[in-house]
Amino acid sequence: MEHLMAVILAAGEGKRMKSKKAKVLHEICGMPLVKWVYQSVRKAGIEDTVIVVGHKAEDVKEKLGDEILYAFQEKQLGTGHAVMQAQDYFANKEGYVMVLYGDTPLVTSDTISDAIRFHKENNNSATVITADLDDPTGYGRIVRSGDGSVLRIVEHKDANDEEKSIKEVNSGMYCFNISDLREALSELNNNNSQGEYYLTDTIEILLKKGKNVRAIKVKDSDEILGINDRIQLAKAGEIIRNRILQRFMENGVTIIDPASTFIDQEAEIGIDTIIYPSTIIEGNTKIGEDCVIGPGSRIVSCEIADGVEVKNSVVLESSIDSGTKVGPFAYIRPGSKIGKNVKIGDFVEVKKSIIGDKTKISHLTYVGDAEIGKGVNLGCGVVVVNYDGKKKNKTVVGDNCFVGCNVNLISPVEIKDNAYIAAGSTITDLVPENSLAIARSRQVIKEDWVIKKGMLNKEKKD
């Protein structure tokens, strides 16, 4: 049976990243570099993937999960040596294997699919993925014969002037016949100054055996960009971000200023939603249709229904139902569930709370660990006092309640339906349905008190 698989090399340390974590775990638009490659492999229809891990191997496995096969390269002795570590997975198989790199996140599923199709149609032993570069310095050059097949790959340091003038370079990504790759790996040696086994040498081995080796050129040379430092990480991030934004705009989302907008790969956004400048949308956020997001908003792993507005606000790991308006300058913390047609105004913070439909929390209010019913009004300066110094406690406010300005609700406490709380009250006990609670001292006036105490400001009086 013809087998199709991929091997992704992800064992390197990446010293130039100057980082405590594995290079392939650095993220672009919410995903590790290696996962971008893996996703392209999956979209190309390859289900059997082996990732060769080494440096920080357990961290890489933890991030990617158990659905992937792993091979371990204890010592990083070159790309050929890395592929050798994955041999057990294709030892008794016939078919094709793509070899890719965990630090090349720009390679697309189309390129992988095209390489496999080209490989099969030409009955190749190996297919080299190449690109034309304006400045090919440092890359191996592809020397072709008259019929377009590959004669040899010449490393930059070994190239003569004529070969250095060649713009087509080796990406290091290949499609092999599994049987031919096994044979070439068995003859691979490390007789070089670095003492390493180079995958490129398998191409030379196959050519010497008279095998058919051809090259397929990518349409966009950006696809072969490898990440070796933070500068290249930023460059690749910009390219991927633009791809994501373009996809959303093609699908009916208005993005007013793409240059200042950041949206992660896993996000979903409905048609006719408008994204204003300086907005960041992270994680597996789902945003409905006809929404207005931004400017200056950050949304992380949220579900936002149709017709919602989030202006100059932060919303984290929460849900917002249709027609609700948030902001400006609101902070919705994880675990919150905001209902339909709610108003969350300026300088309002909501933490791990449920807010019922048509409730208004217009400004300068903190709601934590609470259930607020439908049609409630929380006035300016209301504070749910949810922490007693040892644990967080819950407050429940029923439907259609009115809570006046500068009220403290001392948790745990319950306010029943249709109750009113007078402004300035500190509520510690249950408030019954349909009642008014007043929890403040009566106002007392002592006339001429300032004069009697000799505290009158004479200069001000004059």
| Maximal CA-CA distance, the chain | 112
Cα 352 from Cα 369, distance rounded (Å): 5
CA-based nearest residue to 155, from 174, 175, 169: 169
Residues 6+ apart with CB under 8 A from 70: 50, 51, 52, 53, 57, 61
Q: Which residue has the tokens 């893996």?
A: 38
Give the active site residue among 26, 55, 81, 363. Answer: 363
What is the SS3 assignment for the chain? Answer: CEEEEEEEEECCCCHHHCCCCCHHHCEECCEEHHHHHHHHHHHCCCCEEEEEEECEHHHHHHHHCCCCEEEECCCCCCHHHHHHCCHHHHCCCEEEEEEEECCCCCCCHHHHHHHHHHHHHCCCCEEEEEEECCCCCCCCEEEECCCCEEEEEECHHHCCHHHHCCCEEEEEEEEEEHHHHHHHHHCCCCCCCCCCCCCHHHHHHHHHCCCCEEEEECCCHHHHCCCCCHHHHHHHHHHHHHHHHHHHHHCCCEECCHHHCEECCCCEECCCCEECCCCEEECCCEECCCCEECCCCEEECCEECCCCEECCCEEECCEECCCCEECCCCEECCCCEECCCCEEEEEEEEECCEECCCCEEEEEEEEECEEECCCCEECCCCEEECECCCCECCEEECCCCEECCCCEEECCEEECCCCEECCCCEECCCECCCCEECCCCCCCCCCCHHHHCCCCCHHHHC
Q: Are 29 and 240 spatial neighbours (Cβ–Cβ below 8 Å)?
A: yes
Beta bridge pairs of residue 319: 303, 337
CA-based nearest residue to 207, from 238, 184, 240, 173: 184
**What does the pLDDT profile of the chain (462 residues) look like in tens digits?**
589 999 999 999 899 999 999 999 999 999 999 999 999 999 999 999 999 999 999 999 999 999 899 999 999 999 999 999 999 999 989 999 999 999 999 999 999 999 999 999 999 999 999 999 999 998 999 999 988 899 999 988 889 999 999 999 999 999 999 999 999 999 999 988 889 999 999 999 999 999 999 999 999 999 999 999 999 999 999 999 999 999 999 999 999 999 999 999 999 999 999 999 999 999 999 999 999 999 999 999 999 999 999 999 999 999 999 999 999 999 999 999 999 999 999 999 999 999 999 999 999 999 999 999 999 999 999 999 999 999 999 999 999 999 999 999 999 999 999 999 999 999 999 999 999 999 998 889 999 999 999 888 766 544
CATH architecture of 2-224: Alpha-Beta Complex (3.90)
CA 140 to chain centre: 33
Q: Are 37 and 68 spatial neighbours (Cβ–Cβ below 8 Å)?
A: no
CA-based nearest residue to 278, from 257, 304, 306: 257
Q: Is 363 a catalytic residue?
A: yes
CATH topology of domain 250-437: UDP N-Acetylglucosamine Acyltransferase; domain 1 (2.160.10)
> Which pair of tokens denotes residue 389?
């110094």
The pLDDT of residue 462 is 47
The pLDDT of residue 455 is 87
CB burial of 272-292 (b: ≥16 within 10 Å; e: otherwise) equals ebebbebbbbbbebbbbbbbb
Q: What is the pLDDT of residues 240-292, one digit of tens each?
A: 999 999 999 999 999 999 999 999 999 999 999 999 999 999 999 999 999 99
The pLDDT of residue 439 is 96
The pLDDT of residue 193 is 82
CA-based nearest residue to 331, from 288, 305, 366: 366
For the chain, what are the domain ranges?
2-224, 250-437
